[in-house]
Structure 1
């Protein structure tokens, strides 16, 4: 999944209801949020989407709300340190993936489940923790 899609997936559950929209308008980034909603509906993933995500994150961070679409920030590893652990999941096979994720364990350890809409197997995705 590309970085913009990951950021949109983090933002998505936070946009349910009116609270985020009200704050976005109050913080001066209501138009950016509207453009992000339109981008999700059209499947757009260009530089303007990244710029709107950055503007939204910056405006909320100025008001003490960090990691709106970027996730929790962390420090990088020192040389010689062990890498961050990761988890591998089955994910949406679409070029513009939905946020569906299925653990690759138990019943789904050997074969990928299928996307009911596309009729194709889900794809393997690894996420750093």
Structure 2
């Protein structure tokens, strides 16, 4: 199977409900998703299809959903390196915290308030995760 067909198959498995469409619209790639549906129906395997798949993956990854069409990815440190990347996320503020983590979107000049816990109404706190 070619790479585009594999990526479309992964996308197809994710598209069972309206959640994918809603997120694609919210993340600004709704038109790319529409074109991918048309390409799948037509059996198209052009560079434009690859570009739309890449755009979809990039948009979803920026919002914490990695590997939408390419599958899971892993981090491998450089040989001899001791550095570990650190990701900052919003986490549960409770002393005995739950496992909820939300990506922090970094937008220049934006002071977006943190999301809040739906149970307590308390704002989530920044947490650093060492990969």
Residue 36 of structure 2 corresponds to: 36
Gaps in structure 2 of 5+ consecutive residues: 79-131
What CA distance in whole angstroms lies between the structure 2 residues aligned with 1:71 and 1:39?
Answer: 20
Deviation at 1:13, TM superposition (A): 1.1
Aligned length: 77
1:12-59 deviation digits (Å, cap 9, x = unpaired): 111111000000000000000000000000000110000000000000
CA offset digits 1:73-104 (Å, max 9, x no partner): 1357x9xxxxxxxxxxxxxxxxxxxxxxxxxx
Aligned counterparts, 1:1-129, within 5 A = 1-74=1-74
Where has structure 1 moved over 4 Å in runs of 4 or more? none
Q: TM-score, normalised by structure 1?
A: 0.57
What are the ranges of 5 or more consecutive residues in structure 1 without an aligned counterpart?
79-129
Taking structure 2 as the reference length, what is the TM-score of the superposition? 0.56
Whole-angstrom distance in 1 between the partners of 2:23 and 2:36: 15
